[in-house]
Structure 1
Amino acid sequence: MNENPALAAALIVLLGAAAQWLSWWMKLPAILLLLITGLLIGPGFQLFDPDAMFGDLLFPFVSLGVAVILFEGSLTLKFEEIRGHGQIVTRLVTIGALSTILVAALGAWGLGLLSWEVALLFGALVSVTGPTVIIPILRSVGLSKNAANILRWEGIIIDPLGALAAVVIFQFVAIDAADPGNLLLVFEILAAGTVLGAGAGYAFGWLLRRHVLPDYLHNVAALALVLAVFVASNEIAHESGLLAVTVMGIFLANMRDVDVVDILDFKESLTVLLTSILFIVLAARLPIEAFTANWTMVAALMGIILFIARPLSIFISTIWTPLPWRERAVLSWIAPRGIVAAAVSALFAIQLNRSGVEGAQTLVSLTFTVIVTTVLLQSLTARPLARLLGVADPEPRGILIVGGNPVALAIATSLHKLDFDVVLADTSWDLTRKARMAGIRTYFGNVVSDNADRRLDLVGIGRLLALSTRAPLNTLACLRYAREFGSGSVFRIRLADQAENVAAIEGRILFKEGTTLEKLQALLEQGWQIKVTKLTEEYGFKEAMEQQDGDAIPLYAVSRDRVVHPFADDRTFKAGPGWQVANLVKPPTDKTDQESSAVEQAKADLDKEMKPKLPD
């Protein structure tokens, strides 16, 4: 591969894409397969030597790639999210992270693996979990909603905070801060990175807020500015570039009235490409000896991180809270390390090597060992542990609805009234706002984007109803979530201009033949309503349909064990006594129907009044 750089570059991109796809198919964090791929083609079979191929360009390439990754991560950090997700999450990303840094650093230093300064940097790196590794594990484990949300938001928030802590600590390690003459230089680096990053973030946010840039230039301008700020900051104060782009992202994410959704989507796509290339390249640089030397001490360090650092962090963060001990035990075990730890540690090692700091290569091998150990071990054991402790979520009964049009909103509202967990997703702010006003959980964005993989909370969700007005989105959503929920649990609606010959994997077709989204929307505009009827031995599904003269359109049924069964062309259930059936029914058309409806309502009100009331 080294003899032909073009071939090597193409193969690395291809291997990265294959590893990303395989990780999606296996429901494993992509970083694990990327690192294994790099180790195989590098020290394993010695097919690829990054230093020989890239030469002096390796360091600039890695530096710029890590700068983009850190900016993308920091762009997701909103301070209101730290305050808005409970006391436990706030503690985990502050005092909990600090305790992890100290315990991991003391372990690496006490075992003689690293000097104290580099050990402290190692502690900062392994304190970061991150959504790219935690979310695949959560989706495969099926934790209780409370525990899953704590882990999910810890990963989202600690990602940029941990990177910022590692960058700051690195400044003290790279420049001997113990020397009073160098201490001023450290603060100069911190000041330059902070001021330049905040200034660039504010300036770019001002341009976006005033619509100075056309929409199609937002992504390109953001990328250009990130690279420019990184290089400029390094020129002003050596090694301050990473701090500058991290501060720039955090500042931009927290500015009022600045929409960074499109920029974030673009940066996430770019980050997938960069991480695929970077991790293969960086893993290929590691010699096998880095993983075999001092293996007893390394194993002891893994034990300290797994069985002391993480449990202590959870204990400190959950003390004097009502969180059950079983959930605390699961939280103490699940803490896989991810992208920030791998990317930043490799870059720091290159820089520390140039500065002559001892232990730089050991820093990378230890960090990669922590990543592989935690991801592999916890991916395999988290689900059995959750079941053993009784904190695994039962069969998910919630529904993800794609689309915010009137039909989707009406179905979501009816399910919400039956106390089902419903998430309505749409790219229209106005449509999602209407759903939120109705008390329905919403996701503003594209459900098949990288952002959805990071931010869309699917805990407790087990069905997909693709009700969008866009046929391609419905198809992609069914393809994407067929592996998440199972091909039998993804449904799509007919559209008037869509062909019927669609593969089963693209979603089971909703409702009876001839029922399209356009038809349902027209009926709603005519005053048709969704009515939920409870079936009995005397009043079954057939009688319910006959009462509506056969005009009712069955939408979904709810079984006695409270599982939603949408009506589809290939219906695999039979509604019986004790079930509830939701039909779209026509409004009363004459006086008799109106009187009958009024009598039914009056009878229901009377029954409600006659129910015995419990004493206060």
Structure 2
Amino acid sequence: MGEHAILSLASILLAGMFCQWIAWRVKLPAILFLLPMGILAGSVSDLLQPDQLFGDLLFPFVSLAVAVILFEGSLTLKFKDIPGLERVIRNMITLGVLISWFVITLATRMLIGFSWEVSFLFGALMVVTGPTVIMPLLRTMRPKENVANILQWEGILIDPIGAILAVLVFQFIISEGTDEGFAAGLIVFGKILLSGVLFGVAGGYCFGSLIKKYWIPQYLHNFAALAFVCTIFAVSNMLATESGLLAVTVMGIWLTNMKGIDLDDILNFKESLSILLVSMLFIILAARLNLSNFIDLGWPALGIFLLIQFFVRPLSVHICALGSKLSMSERHLLSWIAPRGIVAAAISALFAIKLESTGYPEAVQMVPLTFLVIIGTVLLQSATARPLARILKVAEPEPKGFLIIGANSVTQTIALELNKNGFRTLLTDQNWSAVTEAKLKGLSAYWGNPVSEHAERHLNLIGIGNLLAMSPHLELNALAAQYFRLEFPPKCIFTIRNHQPETGPADEKSIFKFGGRFLFDETITYEDLEERLNQGAEIKTTVLTEEFSYEDYLKKLGEERLMLFAIDPNDQIHVFTAEPEFQPKANWKIMGLTPHTMTQSEATQT
């Protein structure tokens, strides 16, 4: 029995990792693969039976996992990101919730035939979106800042609000009689609100103070954060049922808006932990579904999904956005994006069991109906969000540009050629003369320390997905590479050598951790590039053809060759390193440092 449980847990982790990898490859939310995997492992093959595997620990585990996920999401909610949007966000998590709740409740009653009690509960569950599905969708869609901030704040704040609303409805249902139910609901709401806010603020302040005063060593920050979150969630829930989600959300918001606290490592750890928990939760909860319940719902269930997607969400958004600075295109995109996530799935499963035992047999159908809406909204919106954002012209450009550390003569020459080929560049330097010179050449440049708090607020990284650390200063390059490792993928962070590599331990001791990939060639240094350019070398773009191949290009340049960048036919740019992971072919473009003796016709320059 023990070996079977271990194998089941290992299989869940392996299946979750595989689904996340597939989602990364095809650039779609992982839920689209996690849910079918769970259904296949559960009701189809009967290989996974979560209730037997976890027993009484199933729903406590689900609750704690959801709390950690919400806390991780709330760490990204900074008040400085929403100037002018406060009213819209407030409306969407209050007025928007009420509109969605009542319309969905009425539709469920009319189309599905649930009792009014279960219909109100289902309507409460359907007001939530959630960070588990919003964040992957935002990464794929890449909308403009206004839309992204609203969806992010709404997705995280509306989860505990939806959970509280569901608890109030459930409390009303089990309190027999309208008068008693209403009074009990008010008492429950007050306790939840008071407990959640107080424990959230206290937890955030205490944990933030401990970090700020260095009472917790760096290596224990992640462990301490997880312990604090679970404790705050559990204690708050003990005093007021289901107030824990509100508490951990408030705690995260409080922490991330405290001054003088570095949460990057905690956020990175929590993001990895959230991916693990989301993967497990969706597989486990989907494995509990019975396919026959989907069939029993029939066509009216499809009507519920269509009503939520095409009527409820647009109605709610356009009413909540009245009088705001949002453009009509931004409102239309917001009206389309509202995928349901793990909170709706988890709470529907929990309350369905409780309601079925109290005389509401139709409550069991609430779970497959919830999953149908989850699958439908995520599938439809994942497939259409990016094209719709482009059509409405509210999508950021592809992040193919370069943030370049240093505004010296070398980086200016490289940036000019990158711009000529359609790639955005942004140079940064603390040297005012260098920044001024770059701007006079028509380049975008920032004067200041690229890793400062001012830079964090003012650097416009829209359309930028790569870092080139190319200043003459070794330490600044290494610091920038480490600072921006959470902004750019590791494979997109590059740095120039500042001295020739040495053999043996001496070179190993001089390499910085998270220092980035070395640019262009293993032996090339910043001084080498500067010297070649001073001697008259030029950066030119060459088009490869069937008659003039990459091999011909290398022979033509000889030993003086230095390839910098390659652009494929899909307009994707690749950076040359000591071990390039690509092979240029016909119709590719090569940006290389060409010796001054080579003529323009010889280089086949575009």
> Which stretch of structure 1 is more off in the superposition, 364-373 or 348-357?
348-357
Which residue in the other structure is 1:297 paired with? Answer: 300
Deviation of the 1:5 alpha carbon: 0.7
Partner of 1:28: 28
Aligned to 1:254: 257
Given the alignment of the two structures, is residue 371 of structure 1 paired with residue 371 of structure 2, yes or no? no
Q: CA RMSD in A?
A: 5.2
Matched, 1:7 2:2: no
CA distance in 1: counterparts of 2:100 and 2:259, whole angstroms? 33
* Aligned twin of 2:77: 77
Per-residue CA deviations over 1:146-178 (Å, capped at 9, x if unaligned) read: x54444223311122111211221331232275
Task: Please show how residues 48-127 of structure 1 align to structure 2 within 5 Å.
Answer: 48-83=48-83, 92=92, 95-116=95-116, 118-127=118-127
CA–CA distance in structure 1, aligned partners of residues 221 and 190 of structure 2: 33
Identity, % of aligned positions: 41
Distance 1:574 1:434 in 2: 43
Give 1:173's aligned residue: 169
How far residue 10 of structure 1 moved from its aligned partner, in angstroms, is: 0.8
**CA-CA distance at 1:6 after TM superposition:** 1.0
Q: Which residue of 2 aligns with 1:431?
A: 450
Output the CA distance in 2 between the equivalents of 1:364 and 1:407: 61
The change in CA–CA distance for 1:574 and 1:494 in structure 2 (over 3 A counts) is: farther
Three-state SS of the structure 2 residue aligned to 1:196 is helix
Change (3 A) 1:44 1:408: farther
Query: Of residues 149, 152, 169 in structure 1, which corresponds to 2:148?
Result: 152
Quote the residue 2:275 is aligned against.
272
Separation in structure 2 between the aligned mates of residue 41 and residue 210 of structure 1, nearest angstrom:
48
> Partner letter of residue 341 of structure 2?
G
* Cα offset, 1:282, TM superposition: 0.7
User: Contact between 1:128 and 1:155, CA under 8 Å: does it hold in 2?
Assistant: no
The offset of 1:508, in angstroms, is 11
Q: Which amino acid aligns with 1:161?
A: L
Distance 1:210 1:339, change over 3 A: same
Task: Name the count of aligned residue pairs.
Answer: 524
2: CA distance between counterparts of 1:259 and 1:493? 25
AA paired with 1:57? L
Aligned-pair CA distance for 1:7: 0.8
* 1:499-541 residue CA offsets vs partner (Å, 9 max, x unmatched): 9xxxxxxx99965895335755xx49x9989999999xxxxxx
Pairs within 5 Å for 1:174-189: 174-176=170-172, 178=178, 179=180, 182=184, 183-189=186-192
Contact 1:174–1:357 (Cα < 8 Å) also in 2: no
Shift of 1:261: 2.2
Is residue 38–residue 282 contact of structure 1 (8 Å, CA) maintained in 2? yes
> Following the alignment from structure 1 to structure 2, what is the Cα–Cα distance between the partners of residues 394 and 68?
30
Quote the Cα distance in structure 2 between the aligned partners of 1:323 and 1:238: 37
Corresponding residue number in structure 2 for 1:281: 284
Unaligned runs of 5+ in 1: 443-458, 483-489, 500-506, 536-550, 586-616
Distance in 2, Cα, partners of 1:330 & 1:114: 32
Cross-structure match for 2:208 = 205
Cα pair 2:401 2:425 within 8 Å, conserved: yes
Cα gap change, 1:155 to 1:51, in 2 (>3 Å) = same
The alignment partner of 1:47 has SS state of coil
Cα distance change of structure 1 residues 246 and 473 upon mapping to structure 2, 3 Å threshold? closer
For the 8 Å contact 2:163–2:242, the answer to whether it is kept is no
TM-score, normalised to structure 2, is 0.70
Deviation sequence 1:417-444 (CA, Å, 0-9, x none): 999644789xxx95333993996425xx
Give the superposition deviation at 1:470: 9.5
Contact persistence 1:510–1:567 (CA under 8 A): yes
In the superposition, relative to structure 1, how do residues 189 and 258 fare at CA in structure 2: closer, same or farther (>3 Å)?
A: same
TM-superposed CA distance for 1:188, in Å, is 2.5
Counting only pairs closer than 5 Å after superposition, residues 410-449 of structure 1 correspond to structure 2 as 410=411, 421-422=424-425, 431-433=450-452, 436=455, 440-442=459-461
Q: Deviations over 1:315-358 (max 9, x none)?
A: 32455668665665454334333344334444454565677766
Aligned to 1:229: 232
- In structure 1, what is the Cα distance between the partners aligned to 2:106 and 2:534? 68
Match of 2:401 among 399, 410, 414: 399
Distance 2:488 2:419 in 1: 29
Contact 1:201 / 1:248 at 8 angstroms: preserved in 2? yes
533 and 273 in structure 1: CA distance in 2 versus 1, 3 angstrom threshold: closer
Q: CA deviation at 1:275?
A: 1.1
Question: Partners in 2 of 1:478 and 1:248 — Cα distance?
Answer: 24
Which one is further off, 150-159 or 415-424?
A: 415-424
**Residue 199 of structure 1: CA displacement?**
1.4
Please state if 1:362 is matched with 2:381. no
